[in-house]
């Protein structure tokens, strides 16, 4: 397995162009299944999860081309297999996003049930209950969700927990259903608005996205479109922490500062100097930061996808801090690895208590999931000596050209072959 070798200690300086958002492009790629016309998607990040989704759509029979600028052009009129196999779903849970569009457009779908994953059990019961309320006939057999319908009907769906991909699946099912669908306690993440913007361009009638009440009026069919995905707020925030942890100076371009207000607020509170203009964020950190307390929760609160990176930052900041993980039950796998690098962290249930240490030291560490990998790389960038991050395939799922981008701003980071 490939590894990353990082020699820490250099402040990062320079400019980083932020890529398109992983969590936007995946549902938007799935949305292409809703139309018989060409859907062209721009600002597509070069990520393993995108490659997996593209293979999935191709396997289903979609016609697909990608140009040198990563513009993806999909025509789903030739889709004739309505099937997402276990081999694909197990590497990428977001494959579940094809369920709603397949049912809505073709009336049937067979999608592997995602299993547990490193960060918790992550069920899809709410996706299934929502689709059942819309009239789908759903059974689970041999680890597969088998869903059929003559025609989905609008319904009133109230989620007991706000779910991001659950909201997206129901939205995509509802755009072609007969009548109106009301989603209560919908997720409010910027990626939901991005999907709604793309669907509206295809002719869908959606209101209220970005709030907890979404109303969708079904239409007969959707047309093609040409749409650029939103910049990645988690990549943006990860590079802000990279500047903060190495006491560097970065300019992030092609981003959307309004989608990470809480991150900017926390970093400013910790002592980083940040300025924002249009799609650019400047950050400068000259001295050690103060540790900050965090509680993860759905948007617009602090994102669970930035928890691991902030634990790395807090572990070498001044003072004691508390980080509470409220979204996933088992998302502290990076902590033991950070402790091996000299961090002082205690876990009690869903709370991590971090006492800032003077220095971290390089060590061989193991990445367990996507955001955990990012936190170990950040720790490696500031640690004394060399850090080897193993199982780096996780990072390639969600960060485009991570070592190229880091090298360009002065990091000493190298990919070691298998």
Q: What is the set of active-site residues?
A: 117
Q: Is 124 in the site for ligand UD1 (CB under 6 A)?
A: yes
Find the binding residues for ligand UD1 in span 25-44 (CB under 6 A): 26
- The Cβ of residue 14 has, within 10 Å, a number of other Cβ atoms equal to 13
Closer residue to ligand UD1, CB minimum distance, 23 or 255: 23
Q: Is 126 in the site for ligand UD1 (CB under 6 A)?
A: yes
10 CB burial (10 A radius; 0-12, 13-18, 19+): middle
Find the binding residues for ligand UD1 in span 286-315 (CB under 6 A): 304-305
Contact pattern for ligand UD1 over residues 152 through 171, marking x by CB under 6 A = ---------x-xxxx-----
Q: What values do phi and psi take at 274, rounded to 5?
A: -130, 135
How far apart are alpha carbons 197 and 256 in whole angstroms? 16
Q: Is 98 in the site for ligand UD1 (CB under 6 A)?
A: no
Q: Is 207 in the site for ligand UD1 (CB under 6 A)?
A: no
Closer residue to ligand UD1, CB minimum distance, 72 or 316: 72
Closest separation between CB of residue 117 and ligand UD1, Å?
9
Q: Are 250 and 13 in contact (CB under 8 A)?
A: yes
Q: Is 47 in the site for ligand UD1 (CB under 6 A)?
A: no
Q: Which two tokens stand for residue 232?
A: 């990645």
Q: What values do phi and psi take at 369, rounded to 5?
A: -155, 180
Q: Which two tokens stand for residue 309?
A: 């990176």
- The Cβ of residue 235 has, within 10 Å, a number of other Cβ atoms equal to 24
Q: Is 132 in the site for ligand UD1 (CB under 6 A)?
A: no
β-bridge partners, 206: 216
Q: Are 127 and 163 in contact (CB under 8 A)?
A: yes
Location of structure tokens 């059929």:
148
Closest separation between CB of residue 59 and ligand UD1, Å?
19
Of 57-65, 74-82, 120-128, 388-396, the window that binds ligand UD1 (rule: CB under 6 A) is: 120-128
Residue 97 CA neighbour count, 13 Å, CB half: 31
Q: What values do phi and psi take at 35, rounded to 5?
A: -120, 155
Report which of 386, 362, 402 is spatially closest to residue 5, judged by C-alpha positions: 386
Q: Is 395 in the site for ligand UD1 (CB under 6 A)?
A: no
| Cα four-point dihedral sign 52, 114, 62, 217 | negative
Q: Is 322 in the site for ligand UD1 (CB under 6 A)?
A: no
Q: Is 326 in the site for ligand UD1 (CB under 6 A)?
A: no
Given 3, 105, 127, 188, the residue binding ligand UD1 (CB under 6 A): 127
Closer residue to ligand UD1, CB minimum distance, 51 or 63: 51
Q: Is 318 in the site for ligand UD1 (CB under 6 A)?
A: no
Closest separation between CB of residue 368 and ligand UD1, Å?
14
What is the radius of gyration, based on Cα positions, of the chain? 21
Find the binding residues for ligand UD1 in span 335-364 (CB under 6 A): none
Find the binding residues for ligand UD1 in span 55-94 (CB under 6 A): 93-94
Q: Is 116 in the site for ligand UD1 (CB under 6 A)?
A: no
Q: Is 327 in the site for ligand UD1 (CB under 6 A)?
A: yes
Given 6, 18, 23, 395, the residue binding ligand UD1 (CB under 6 A): 23
Location of structure tokens 């640690």:
383
- The Cβ of residue 264 has, within 10 Å, a number of other Cβ atoms equal to 20
Closest separation between CB of residue 325 and ligand UD1, Å?
10
Binding site for ligand UD1 (CB under 6 A): 23, 26, 93-94, 120, 122-127, 161, 163-166, 187, 191, 304-305, 327-328
């Amino acid at each position: 397995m490939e590894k990353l070798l990082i020699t820490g200690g250099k402040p990062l300086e320079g400019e980083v162009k932020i890529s398109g958002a992983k969590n936007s492009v995946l549902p938007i790629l799935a949305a292409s299944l809703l139309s018989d016309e060409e859907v062209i998607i721009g600002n597509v990040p070069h990520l393993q999860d995108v490659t997996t989704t593209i293979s999935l759509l191709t396997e289903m029979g979609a016609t697909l081309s990608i140009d040198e600028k990563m513009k993806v052009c999909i025509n789903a009129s030739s889709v004739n297999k309505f099937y997402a196999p276990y081999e694909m779903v197990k590497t990428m849970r977001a494959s579940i996003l094809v369920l709603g569009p397949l049912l809505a457009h073709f009336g049937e779908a067979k999608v592997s049930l995602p299993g547990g994953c490193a960060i918790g059990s992550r069920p899809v019961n709410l996706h299934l209950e929502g689709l059942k309320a819309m009239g789908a006939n759903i059974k689970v057999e041999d680890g597969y969700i088998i869903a059929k319908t003559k025609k989905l009907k609008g319904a009133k769906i109230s989620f007991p927990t706000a779910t991001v991909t659950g909201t997206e699946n129901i939205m995509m099912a509802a755009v072609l259903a007969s009548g109106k669908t009301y989603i209560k306690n919908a997720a409010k993440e910027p990626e939901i608005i991005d999907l709604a913007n793309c669907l509206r361009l295809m002719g869908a009638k959606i209101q209220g996205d970005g709030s907890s009440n979404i109303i969708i009026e079904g239409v007969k069919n959707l047309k093609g479109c040409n749409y650029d995905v939103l910049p990645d707020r988690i990549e943006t925030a990860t590079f802000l922490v990279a500047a903060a942890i190495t006491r560097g100076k970065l300019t992030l371009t092609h981003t959307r500062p309004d989608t990470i207000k809480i991150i900017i607020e926390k970093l400013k509170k910790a002592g980083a100097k940040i300025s924002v203009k249009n799609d650019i964020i400047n950050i400068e950190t000259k001295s050690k930061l103060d540790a900050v307390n965090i509680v993860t929760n759905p948007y617009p609160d602090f994102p669970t996808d930035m928890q691991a990176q902030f634990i790395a930052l807090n572990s070498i900041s001044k003072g004691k801090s508390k980080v509470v993980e409220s979204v996933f039950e088992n998302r502290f796998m990076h902590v033991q690895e950070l402790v091996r690098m000299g961090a002082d962290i205690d876990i009690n249930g869903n709370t991590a208590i971090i006492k800032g240490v003077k220095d971290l030291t390089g060590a061989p560490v193991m990445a367990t999931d996507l955001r955990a990998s990012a936190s170990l790389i950040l720790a490696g960038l500031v640690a004394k000596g060399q850090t080897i991050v193993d199982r780096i395939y996780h990072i390639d799922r969600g960060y485009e050209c991570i070592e190229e981008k880091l090298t360009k701003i002065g990091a000493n980071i190298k990919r070691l072959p298998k």
